[in-house]
Amino acid sequence: MIRIHHLNCGTLLVANYPTVVCHCLLLEDPNGLALVDTGIGLLDVQSPLERLGQPLIEMAGFQFNEHDTAVRRIERFGFSPNDVRHIILTHCDPDHAGGLADFPHATVHLAEEELANVQSGSLRYVPTQFAHSPRWQPVSQSQHDWLGLSARSVPLGFSSEVLLVPLFGHTAGHCGVAIRQDKQWMLHAGDAYYLRAELTTDDHPVSALAAARADDDHSRRVSLGHLRRLNNELSDVVQIIGYHDLTELPNGLTQ
C-alpha cells in the first residue's frame, strides 16, 4: 500500500484572507516516489521577479522560503529528488507547478484538458515554469466510475490505485487526485475549494475569490457540489483534503 506523506510546500499571504499553504503529497511506494502538486519551486525562491513578476507575487501573496520547497522537504525524508519518478498535477497554476523544474526527469501526469489549456497560451499560467520542457503525460477521458464520479487511472505502476478525478471549473482541466488506501481513499481536491468551510457553506467570504479566479464558475460550483456529496454521504470511505487550508495539514507541518 502507498504510504502518504503530507508536505507544506509554500505559504501565501493575501490581505483580508487567512494565511494559506501549499499542501502537497508525497506518495511512497516500493516502485518509487510520486509527488502530488509541487508548490513553490527553488527557482521561484531564487529568482522570484524573473520567474513570476511583481504583480503576480503581490496578487497571490507568494512567500519565498527555500526550506518550504518540495525538493528540500523530500530531502529531509532522506530521499533524493531523482527518486521522484512521477508528478501528478491537479492543475498548472503557478503555486502548484513552481517545483516542476526541480524534478526534470519525472513524468508529469495531468488531465489532457489541462495540458491543452496550458498550451493554448492562457494567461493564468507562467511559461517560465515550463521552460525546462516537462515530460508531460496527458491522461485522457475514460469510462471509469469512482464513487459516482468519472475518473481516470494514472499509470504509475504503483501497488495502490491512483486516479485523476475531473473537478473542472477552477481551471479548464482541474482534477482531484484519489489514492486508494486499502478499502478507503484519500482525495486531494486541489483548488476545488480554497478553505474547508466551503464544503458546508455558500456564503464564506473566500467564495467570491474562488468565483473570480475560476475559468468557469458554473463548473466550479458543480464540482464543489460533488465534493459536498462525498463529504456528507461517504466520509467513511473517502477523506478529502484541499491544497490551501492550513488547518488540514497534520500537526507540526506548518513550519
Report whether pLDDT(254) > 80: no
Report whether pLDDT(208) > 70: yes
- In Å, how far are 44, 45, 171 from 64, measured between CA atoms? 7, 5, 24
Mean pLDDT of 11-22: 90
Q: What is the pLDDT, as a whole number, of residue 26?
A: 98
Q: What is the pLDDT, as a whole number, of residue 252?
A: 53
- Three cell numbers, residue 207: 467564495
Q: Kindly tell me the burial class for residue 130, based on how many C-beta atoms sit within 10 Å of its own C-beta (0-12, 13-18, 19 or more).
A: middle
Altogether, the residues listed in the chain come to a count of: 255
State how beta strands 135-139 and 107-111 pair.
parallel
**pTM for the full predicted model:** 0.96
Q: What is the pLDDT of residues 23-75, one digit of tens each?
A: 999 999 999 999 999 999 999 999 999 999 999 999 999 999 999 999 999 99
- Three cell numbers, residue 148: 459516482
Name the fold adopted by 3-248: Metallo-beta-lactamase; Chain A (3.60.15)
